[in-house]
Amino acid sequence: MQDIQSWLAKLGLEKYGPAFAEAEIQFSDLVDLTEEDLKEVGLPVGPRRRASSAIRAMAENDMPAAIGIANDPTKEPQHQEQLDTSSDAERRHLTVMFVDLVGSTEMATRLDAEDMRTVITGYQNTVAGVVSRYEGFVAKFMGDGVMCYFGWPRAGEDDAERAVRAGLAIIDSVRSTKAPDGTALATRIGVATGVVIVGDLIGSGATQEAAVVGETPNLAARLQGVAGPNQLVLPSETRRLLGSTYKLTSIGTQELKGVGTPVEAFVVEGEAAQESRFAARQSGTLTPIVGRDREIDLMLERWALARSEQGQMVIVSGEAGIGKSRITRAVIDEVAKDDHTRITYQCSPYHADSAFYPVIQQLSFAAGFAPSDGPDVRLDKLEALLGQDPETLKLITPMMGLDGTARYGALNLTPAQQRAHTMKTLAKLLVQQSQDRPVLLVYEDLHWIDPTSLELLDLLLDTIADQKIMILATARPSFEYGFGGHPIVTRFALNRLGKDQIGDIVAKLTGGKALPDEIMAIVAARTDGVPLFVEELTKTILESGSLKEDGDRLILDGPLSTIAIPTTLHDSLMARLDRLQPIKEVAQTAACIGREFSHGLLAQISLLPDAELTAALDGLIAAELIYRRGLPPEATYLFKHALVRDAAYESQLKEKRRAIHARILTELEADTDIAPEVLAVHAEAAGLTERAIDLWEAASKTAIARPAFDEAISHLGRAIELITPQLENSDAPPFERALGLQVPLSMTLLARKGFTADETLDSFEKALVLADKVGETPMRYSILYGLWIGKGARGQHREALRSAEALVEETANAPNTPPMVVANRVAGASHFLMGNFAEAQRYLDVALANYDSIAHAGLANQFGQDIGVTIHIFQAMNSLMLGQTERATTHLNEAESVAKSTDHIQTICYLLNMRFIYGLASGDRPDVERCLNEVSPIAQEHNLALWSAMIPMCIENLAAYNGDKTSMERWQKAGAAIDAIKFKLFIVSFHVDLARSALAMGFHDDAAELAMKAQELIDETGETYTLSDLHRVQAEIAMADDDAETAENYLVTALDVARQQGAKLWELRAAIDLASLLHEQGRIDEAITLLTPIHNSIAEGDCPEDQATVRKLLAELAA
């Protein structure tokens, strides 16, 4: 057995032997020594770190191995960590490794039973030792099979990587041994990663083990089955977690027994050569860095000093994911513009006890060592890199694990001298490199640096103070080493990003497409401005398949569900919580309340005595996982990070969470000040679905009353999500209850998003399906009316007409009621828009006959506008088309009189906009200008989105009519705004009117394009009330081209359309245009024959200006 002195000598700490002797420390005492004990003995930081690491190895592995005694291969393997006796199970993200000894069955037939036992036991001990070294857990020995966990009982941020490292180490260790008959041993290994339920203890005593429920263990075992001898096979999920740390080869998609879907499998060929951890992990394209300009500028200022022989060290500190490596990469890229040398030292959590590890890795990388290189080849490459100075190489080769004695001679130094000389040599080599050009020395992840490399770094600070060298290092806050307050050291902590900067990262990941507001809110709330978390969570959302493209935005393609924390972050957070046993359970309970929680509520729902609860909370505060405001019992607490709360929450079994949420609900319901949406969250999480639905509905009513439409939409949407499964799986589906939620949601969407929004129409469509299942229901009317508004506004007039006719049928037995009046008015409006003027008149007359100006007053809020105004407006529009202009004027004036008497803003805007469109058709330009001047300030003052979008088009139509040639471009922009909200009602009229004005200004091509677009709109929408007028414009364009034949054809078509529609106004105007053309061609009789009948069919007093034109033209023809 070793003594203290020889143990210290192996660590290069022999000079501290007298101190250990003075403290009367024996070798058997080592495993009990603490950091404070070593400090009291007198060890400085570096030696103390090395001694602590060696002592920790004794504690975590078996003592014989730590002191140099070989394992007894006949000894039964032992679990390396005592299981927690708590039987509480947890949901965990786990990496499972399944190891199998190849050919053991055949081997058993030719070996003596005792020899076979020795082989198996030695093999199991090898596996257990390697797994323990990489902080895994041996869960089960099954003869020649071993199942191991990485991520339980303690989670690590890199469980998958440790599992693969352990697996490769097992393969190397086992194949270097032989069976008693000389046969080489081999293993095959499967590794898989996923969410499991782990922790239930089964069995007792020596057979006690932790059961794991989930697909992951089976997947690992099946993957092991497809591995070849000395191969490690893993699936794509584990591959993603590894980044590009390893060389992987796909062996194709595998059909595995017991696994539901085919799995692509990969063989791990070995570790890939990487200069830094960041480069290895970030195997995809990086998003540009945001929000770090000030920090980057600071580091570049330090680089400028270093270039002028004022050496610097900058430490970038911050928690995992805050962007330390990213900002370092940004600085590296900027420095690359200067002629310089860059060296990267990458520290590793697996080698925190391996002397000079980052230096060795960098030199191996720089020298170009390949796995197949022999010792002589590596010596040659090292010489090529460092030169051929034998004194230098004598020191460097042992550090690199190479024997250079034959080439360079033996070292005649003690271990301590060798170590010191090696450090000085490394410092000298660094300075030599800076003589030609500046050097940027990058240390990544100082929190994982080994003690020897830390001492080297300390030495370098004095060495580089007057050299052209800058050290740029990253570290987590746990790395508190201060370098003695050295004056060349600058240390700063990275702050979290703000809302705008989070948006910038998201935009770069989405290619500039905007995420839905509710998704952005989740990203901002759950990531707290940590860049990596923002990226990972955004990527998870984008890869979820729950979004679809809609122009320059991404929109939800289904209900919004809870978004799981990305697995690569969950592991990191669980590692911290696991280190806080047993107070982790308090964190889990508190997490059910939310990110912020009160001492009082936690005390009410916790099963712990108050003293223990307070102590546990103090422990969480000390670990900086929660913050406290005030003092118990009045204190409130806040989880440091939303993802810490999520990690604690999601690690619990759903059954346990439900029980906690039920207790929370019971306590909160006693407080009448608690908002119903808060209660709803806990009711839902407790599995109390019916109660949750009622509470979400109550929350929506409260929101609408404020009004807060977005919140109401969210609350109703959640209630609908909860009730939907019951509609599909229940023996008595609650269709009526669901309808009672869907209709308010539809109405709220109409108010918030507008009647043309996809969400609004989709909601009304769903409501109609539910209404059909319910049968007789008073809610059907509201649904059909909402569909008519939305479909009509989007120009889907055929579908809108079906809704209108269904409304008429729905109200057939309710004469003189507002619903019946409105049903006939909307049916009349649809027929008018589609050019069915006679049918329109029939419905509009029924509406007018049943309308009671007194009884039906005050319903503007229910229907959007005063129903009397809407009847009179469409009576006027339809009468105008029928050539009954006196009647039209009467209704128009009545509409304005009623509108202004209501003082209802929406009604007044509706009236003025409809009069504007009426004026375009009638030709009353003064009234067009009057209406426009009156409506513009009203819409602007009251922020009426639709009218505010339409007014710019109206302005430019009027400007173009008045000859403003600059109006065309502005009109196009205004039209784009209308297109964006999918509003198409009456838009064809604007195109026809502007085409006529464009032609008058000499913009022939613009006129032709506008006419073509008008035709496309009519074909698309079925909005044909202005079709005859469009053909007249097309005839004018043809005449401008001196194409009289085409012009005549268009005018004949215009006449035909007008006659089919019964549109006397359009017929009269088309006849005037065609008669004028015939007159020019000398076809006098045809012109007179055409004009006389239509002129005589118009009642006295109607169409006065057009009739005057006819009389004048007939006189000219008769002359």
Q: How far apart are CA 274 and CA 991, in angstroms?
A: 63
Amino acid, single-letter form, for residue 682:
H
Tokens of 707: 């009004």
Provide, rounded to the nearest whole percent, the portion of the chain with pLDDT above 90.
Answer: 46
More confident residue, 10 or 1107: 1107
* Model confidence pLDDT, tens digit, residues 874-903: 999 999 999 999 999 999 999 999 998 887
Q: Which of 212-216, 529-533, 669-673, 1064-1068 has the highest mean pLDDT?
A: 1064-1068
Provide, rounded to the nearest whole percent, the portion of the chain with pLDDT above 70.
Answer: 89
Residue-level pLDDT at 706? 60
DSSP class per residue in 825-871: HHHHHHHHHTT-HHHHHHHHHHHHHH--TTTTTT-HHHHSS-HHHHH
For residue 1106, how many C-alpha atoms fall within 13 Å in the half-sphere facing its CB? 29
Which class does domain 693-777 fall in?
Answer: mainly alpha
Residue-level pLDDT at 85? 39
pLDDT band at 273 (very low <50, low <70, confident <90, very high): low
Looking at residue 657, the DSSP 8-state letter turns out to be H
Q: Which residue has the tokens 């730590």?
A: 66
Q: How far apart are CA 754 and CA 750, in angstroms?
A: 5
More confident residue, 553 or 291: 553
Show the DSSP H helices in 413-557 as ranges.
415-436, 451-464, 499-509, 517-527, 531-543
Q: How far apart are CA 740 and CA 760, in angstroms?
A: 16
Residue 270 DSSP SS3? strand
**Residues listed for the chain:** 1119
Cβ 834 vs Cβ 804: under 8 Å: no
Tokens of 293: 């300009």
Which of the residue ranges 769-783, 852-866, 916-930 would you say has the lowest mean pLDDT? 852-866
582 preceded by cis ω (within 30°)? yes
Which class does domain 574-674 fall in?
Answer: mainly alpha
Residue-level pLDDT at 64? 30
Residue-level pLDDT at 97? 96
Q: How far apart are CA 459 and CA 321, in angstroms?
A: 30
Rounded to 10 degrees, what is the CA torsion of 972, 973, 974, 978?
90
Residue-level pLDDT at 572? 53
Rounded to 10 degrees, what is the CA torsion of 80, 82, 84, 85?
140
User: What's the CATH code, domain 90-271?
Assistant: 3.30.70.1230
Q: How far apart are CA 1090 and CA 1088, in angstroms?
A: 5
* Model confidence pLDDT, tens digit, residues 1010-1040: 999 999 999 999 999 999 999 999 999 999 9
Amino acid, single-letter form, for residue 528:
D
325 pLDDT more than 60:
yes
If you average pLDDT over residues 744-757, what whole number do you get? 87
Which class does domain 292-493 fall in?
Answer: alpha beta
Q: How far apart are CA 1018 and CA 987, in angstroms?
A: 10
User: CATH for 940-1118, among 1.25.40.10, 3.40.630.10, 1.20.1280.50, 1.10.390.10?
Assistant: 1.25.40.10
Looking at residue 178, the DSSP 8-state letter turns out to be B
338 pLDDT more than 90:
no
Provide φ and ψ at 567, rounded to 5°.
-60, -35
The pTM score is: 0.61
Q: How many CB atoms lie within 10 A of CB 927?
A: 15
Which of the residue ranges 493-507, 732-746, 1052-1066 would you say has the lowest mean pLDDT? 493-507
Amino acid, single-letter form, for residue 801:
L
Closest CA to 37 of 57, 16, 12: 16
User: CATH for 4-66, among 3.30.43.10, 3.20.20.60, 3.30.70.2190, 1.10.150.50?
Assistant: 1.10.150.50
Residue 512 DSSP SS3? coil
If you average pLDDT over residues 353-366, what whole number do you get? 84
Residue-level pLDDT at 582? 72
Closest CA to 1033 of 1075, 995, 1076, 1074: 995
- How do 246-254 and 263-271 pair as beta strands? antiparallel
Partner residues linked to 432 by β-bridges: none
Cβ 63 vs Cβ 29: under 8 Å: no
C-alpha 51: how far from its chain's center? 46
Residue-level pLDDT at 72? 40
Residue-averaged pLDDT of the chain: 85
Q: How many CB atoms lie within 10 A of CB 362?
A: 19
Which of the residue ranges 569-583, 743-757, 868-882 would you say has the lowest mean pLDDT? 569-583
One fold for 693-777 and 940-1118: yes
If you average pLDDT over residues 504-517, what whole number do you get? 86
- How do 439-444 and 469-475 pair as beta strands? parallel
78 pLDDT more than 60:
no
Q: How far apart are CA 495 and CA 794, in angstroms?
A: 48
Q: How far apart are CA 678 and CA 684, in angstroms?
A: 10
pLDDT band at 70 (very low <50, low <70, confident <90, very high): very low
* Model confidence pLDDT, tens digit, residues 402-452: 899 999 988 877 666 777 888 899 999 999 988 889 999 999 889 888 888
Query: Exposed, middle or buried, 884 (CB in 10 Å: 0-12/13-18/19+)?
Result: buried
Query: Containing H/E element for 246?
Result: strand 246-254
Residue-level pLDDT at 202? 43
pLDDT band at 74 (very low <50, low <70, confident <90, very high): very low
Residue-level pLDDT at 86? 46
Cβ 358 vs Cβ 453: under 8 Å: yes
Q: How far apart are CA 305 and CA 472, in angstroms?
A: 13
Q: How far apart are CA 58 and CA 79, in angstroms?
A: 15
281 pLDDT more than 70:
no
pLDDT band at 563 (very low <50, low <70, confident <90, very high): very low
C-alpha 416: how far from its chain's center? 54
Query: Exposed, middle or buried, 814 (CB in 10 Å: 0-12/13-18/19+)?
Result: middle
Q: How many CB atoms lie within 10 A of CB 491?
A: 14
Query: Exposed, middle or buried, 123 (CB in 10 Å: 0-12/13-18/19+)?
Result: buried
556 pLDDT more than 90:
no
pLDDT band at 286 (very low <50, low <70, confident <90, very high): low
CA-atom Rg of the chain in angstroms: 41
Query: Exposed, middle or buried, 257 (CB in 10 Å: 0-12/13-18/19+)?
Result: exposed
Helices and strands per DSSP (H, E), number in the chain: 51, 18
Q: Which of 69-83, 598-612, 701-715 has the highest mean pLDDT?
A: 598-612
* Model confidence pLDDT, tens digit, residues 601-660: 999 999 888 889 999 999 888 877 888 888 888 888 988 766 778 888 988 888 999 999
Which of the residue ranges 176-190, 396-410, 530-544, 754-768 would you say has the lowest mean pLDDT? 530-544
Domain parsing of the chain, residue ranges: 4-66, 90-271, 292-493, 499-556, 574-674, 693-777, 940-1118
Which of the residue ranges 557-566, 688-697, 768-777, 872-881 would you say has the lowest mean pLDDT? 557-566
Q: How far apart are CA 755 and CA 763, in angstroms?
A: 11
Partner residues linked to 283 by β-bridges: none
Q: How far apart are CA 1101 and CA 785, in angstroms?
A: 38
Who's near 123: CB < 8 A, 6+ residues apart? 101, 144, 174, 177, 185
Q: Spell 631-665 as b/e; 16+ CB within 10 A means b.
A: ebeebebebbbbbbbbbbbbbbeeebbbbbbbbbb
pLDDT band at 526 (very low <50, low <70, confident <90, very high): confident
Partner residues linked to 110 by β-bridges: none
C-alpha 495: how far from its chain's center? 22
Q: Which residue has the tokens 């003695």?
A: 484
* Model confidence pLDDT, tens digit, residues 214-264: 889 999 999 999 999 999 999 988 888 887 778 899 999 998 888 888 999
Tokens of 1041: 């081209």
Residue-level pLDDT at 569? 61
More confident residue, 111 or 965: 965
